Structure 1
């Protein structure tokens, strides 16, 4: 699962410098960056399928399918350390209606730095309760983490390079500052992500990756 986490974290890193708009009021290009961690679901960990019998992988043996959706985040960057909270919903469907039933699903919340370093990881559980005779059910979930504001803040010179206005006609107007290896390395070092997904077994992960 580590490779899937790294894949998602790398994608989040590329979006670390967000655009407030292509041009500002003077015609200059504006780039902004938030110190708050990005929040994402790593590839192949956003859904889980259980089978009955467990060893089967046939479609007719599918018991319950659950998906993490509506992922949102809040972040307080006015404090050090910062607190970032991800809220989400787990939507589940069972293959056949039956009596009321509860399905407990484990999920993880991992803080990554620079797309490669695992800073922390927590595992929680969320209970989805199917009402009598109902095929669908959902449950809210939440994950929180803290990140050092100092560690997530870019050096002043790098911040100046990223935020400097570039007007059409300037020699470097069309040059992305992220193409500078030093700038990119600094942004990578200061970039954190909170990744949320189902805590899958190797078999479950392989099923998601190959279906």
Structure 2
């Protein structure tokens, strides 16, 4: 017979007694749709003032996954979302060091008008291990709360994730296409 820890037994007892423990309706909360446009899913950086080719590449990065969850917020008037982003980074021949910085963002959009309601920018710092040219890193979870109720539903929002790119980098991604 498997023994349960004291914490599990106390939690089970409270749940049976109607005290504490998550309610089923709190666990089954839908999240807004999540979008990762191909235009901002990749980041390739080259040495400044050089022709972009493999010998001048500093790094090549891509977003490889997004983990998220949603839960009911304060007095059921908000929906709280938590999002973490996974990246894969390749070190280029022109990299000046083993360290790297990945500029990225999360934006909350109105699904009907595509208006940006909230936008947060971040820098993911990382380092390549000795004698490696590839790294996989995951951001800290980012919490976003947005209003629901009073005429606003989860379906009224979209969450957009991507790299913070300049115009030339977006144009290069468009020419290259999704990878």
* Same fold (TM > 0.5): yes
Query: Cα distance, 1:42 vs. partner?
Result: 2.1
State which of 115, 118, 143 in structure 2 corresponds to 1:117.
Answer: 115
TM-score, with structure 1 as normaliser? 0.60
Tell me which moved more, 198-207 or 36-45.
36-45
TM-score, with structure 2 as normaliser? 0.70
Query: Cα distance, 1:145 vs. partner?
Result: 1.3
Tell me the residue number matched to 2:98: 101
- CA deviation profile, 1:62-87 (whole Å, cap 9, x unmatched): 22101111212100136321111111
Q: Secondary structure at the match of 1:126?
A: strand
Question: Would you say the 8 A contact 1:100–1:132 is kept in 2?
Answer: no
State which of 115, 125, 128 in structure 1 corresponds to 2:126.
Answer: 128
Q: Is structure 2 residue 44 aligned with structure 1 residue 49?
A: yes
Q: C-alpha separation between the residues in 2 aligned to 1:45 and 1:99?
A: 24
Q: Is structure 2 residue 82 aligned with structure 1 residue 91?
A: no
Tell me the residue number matched to 2:56: 61
Structure 1 pair 103/210, CA: closer, same or farther in 2 (3 Å)? same
Q: C-alpha separation between the residues in 2 aligned to 1:99 and 1:113?
A: 41
Q: Is structure 2 residue 172 aligned with structure 1 residue 207?
A: yes
Tell me the residue number matched to 2:26: none
Unaligned runs of 5+ in 1: 1-33, 155-189
Structure 1 pair 210/108, CA: closer, same or farther in 2 (3 Å)? same
For these two proteins, the number of residue pairs brought into alignment is 143
Q: Secondary structure at the match of 2:170?
A: helix
Regions of 4+ moved over 4 Å: 97-100
